[in-house]
Amino acid sequence: MQQHHKTMIYKLSFTDKDQWDAVKTSFLLADEQGNYGSGTFTNNGMTIREVGHIPIPATYDENGEILTEASQHTDYAVDILTPVLIPGVNEYLLPEIKSNYYHSFSGNNDEIVLPE
């Protein structure tokens, strides 16, 4: 993998955890037991945060009556903080990042990678 001049944040979206599990084997290293890590972990010089299914809060009208129930996004979100370019993940990158995105890496104001 190619070293980059500054740390980058990849915000990835997969159809489910199984798809993420299949893709991560292309750039992460397995330990002696064949595990790659889960939750929040460091692997191959990268910090990975398996965000999972992001919650969607309920919405209410001006009287406090519920308009929509709380739910979750159907995709499986993964964030990666890395100093290297990650090949083969362009199709999983979020096309735009909202400033109030659910998860961020604390203290980092790094370059967010967008699809080409």
pLDDT in tens, the chain (116 residues): 555 557 888 989 999 999 999 999 999 998 899 888 888 888 888 999 998 888 888 999 999 999 999 988 889 999 999 888 898 899 999 877 665 555 555 545 556 776 66
| Domain annotation covers residue 16 | yes
Amino acid at 70: A
pTM: 0.74
Number of domains the chain contains: 1
Tell me the three state secondary structure of residue 92: helix
DSSP lists the bridge partners of residue 80 as 10, 48
The whole-number pLDDT of residue 98 equals 60
What is the DSSP code (8-state) at residue 90?
A: G
Q: What burial class does residue 79 get, using C-beta atoms within 10 Å of its C-beta: 0-12 exposed, 13-18 middle, 19+ buried? A: buried
Task: Say if 80 falls within a structural domain.
Answer: yes
- Any domain includes 62: no
The answer to the question of residue 19 being in a domain is: yes
**Domain contains 64:** no
Residue 22: the pLDDT is 94
Does residue 100 lie within any of the structural domains?
A: yes
Query: In the prediction, which pLDDT does 12 show?
Result: 92
Element (H, E) at 79: strand 76-84
Rounded CA separation 47/42 (Å): 4
pLDDT score of 84: 86
What was the pLDDT predicted at 78?
93
**Would you say residue 15 lies in a domain?**
yes
- Kindly state the tokens that stand for 9: 């944040």
Cα 13 to Cα 10, 36, 42, distances in angstroms? 10, 18, 19
104 within domain boundaries = yes
User: What is the domain extent for residue 46?
Assistant: 3-57+69-113
